[in-house]
A and B are shown apart, each in its own frame.
Chain A
Amino acid sequence: MISFLEFFVRYFPDLLSGIGMTLLLTAEGILAGLVLGLAATLARTYGGKFWRSLAIAYIELFRGTPLLVQLFLLYYGLPGLGIALSREWSAFLALGLNSGAYQAEYLRGSILAVGEEQMLAARAIGMSKWQAIFYIILPQALRLAIPAWANEPVSLLKASSVVFLIAVPELMTRAKMIASRTYDPIRSYLAAAVLYLILVYLVDAAMKWLEQHTRLPGLSQARQK
């Protein structure tokens, strides 16, 4: 029997390409989700009745159903409507749409926390509603959202493993392939677990850095006390 370390080193190149895909899917999903989540939150908080209902419907639908169901609907379901997406596109869309619904909730909480009064002060110097949102509300709300929002990249990174079910060649898919090739599921999936753990640690560190470098002087000091 070879040691886990030897096993790990032997199959690392294979796993590494999986890591690349996992990180790519996570990054794309987070960015697409941020854009979608921001749009949904703004529509929900400041939009008219139509946009508000649309945003709520989107958020509830994608938070209320499993990611796997969404993925299968996109990959296996859409071709029935004449829309055939590649595996990668289906994975990217599912992760982005799903994450957007969660990110919308994180952002909404912090927009509410910034409060109506900042809007009032912005309007009082002659800003339009949208100027106030972009120059006054969002810069504060995004900062406020970071500590809670920072869970989302970690959570999406792990959730991205479900796309192995449509055989997108990411970390989990690689691990499964190695497992069936070597008949050694324990070492294969343990290797995947170790790598996920390292990735999560790195993403966490990046989030802490982000949090620290967007802190407002004075405010953070007050909070630390």
Chain B
Amino acid sequence: MREFPPILQAKNLTKTYGENVIFKNISLDVYKGETIVIIGPSGTGKSTLLRCLNLLTPVDSGQIFLEGEEITAPSVNQDQVRQKIGMVFQNFLLFNHLTALGNVMVGLTKVKKMPHNQAKEKALQELERVGLADRAHHYPAQLSGGQQQRVAIARALAMDPLVMLFDEPTSALDPELIGEVLGVMEQLAHEHMTMLVVTHEMGFAREVADRIIFMEKGRIVEEGTPEDLFERPQQARTREFLGRISELYGKREKG
């Protein structure tokens, strides 16, 4: 049951840094309410792809559409586009001079020009949503990594984005803190938030993703449901990668 057009659509995106081709001719449709997980070896352009999708990094060629409107057009106000696309970074990137509440509020008061009290109420709701209402007045340096990342998620959610992009949201976390962040993301998926997640957490991919995209060397090798990819991968490269990843996981769990 897909609503057309896709909420976020990428057509033939290419990005190079000098001689280095980061990715080439990537096309991608993200439908409303979907959770898409992008997997693949490091350095295959997954993170750059996310940054290009919310215009933090310009693409060399190709087009991106948000709700059917081209956001790569030169006349587009990029700041307005970014309000509608939430982004969660690997290393949280909370604003260090603001409390958890301040981090979530600042976009509402400064970007959306929402009155202070209304913004505060909304920000507290978002912190509640990620289970951190009791940490509202803590500064980032007083929070654990997992808590910081949940505040970062609340900060992005507060802008009421159409799509949320997650760039390896648990890669910088100690193993025991990963669960709380994945828990929040899983809950968002159940609430039908549209999400595009770059991660190495295969458990999450398997349980939560509607679709998985396997990327390698700047191109999409294979995509499909978790079942398709995990049970009957079509490409040798996919099989190999998943095999290596699960081996790694087995080792990590034993250790």
Contact = CB atoms under 8 A, between A and B. Distances in A.
Given A131-B111, A139-B97, A219-B96, A123 B82 contact: yes
A109 B54 CA distance: 29
Interface stretch (A50-58, A82-90, A113-121): A113-121
Interface residues of B, number: 29
**Secondary structure dominating the interface of A:** helix
Given A126-B111, A127-B111, A131-B110, A120 B93 contact: yes
A216 interface: yes
Contacts of A123: 56, 79, 82
Contacts, number: 77
Interface string A125-158: 1111001000110011001000000000000000
Contact of B140 (A120, A126, A218): A218
Given A127-B79, A218-B139, A222-B141, A121 B111 contact: no
A64 interface: no
Contact of A136 (B56, B95, B142): B95
B14 interface: no
B110 A124 contact: no
Contacts of A139: 97
B142 A135 contact: no
Interface in A192-225: 216-219, 221-222
A120 B56 contact: yes
A37 B26 CA distance: 45
A127 B110 contact: yes
Nearest to A220: B141
B79 A121 contact: no
Interface in B127-169: 138-143, 155-156, 159
A140 B142 contact: no
Interface of A: 117-118, 120-128, 131, 135-136, 139-140, 143, 216-219, 221-222
6 contacts: A120-B89, A124-B87, A124-B156, A125-B83, A125-B159, A218-B142
Interface of B: 54, 56, 79-80, 82-84, 86-87, 89, 91, 93-97, 106-107, 110-111, 138-143, 155-156, 159
Given A136-B97, A136-B106, 16 more contacts: A118-B95, A121-B89, A122-B95, A123-B56, A124-B89, A125-B106, A125-B107, A125-B156, A126-B80, A128-B79, A131-B110, A131-B111, A136-B95, A140-B95, A217-B138, A219-B139
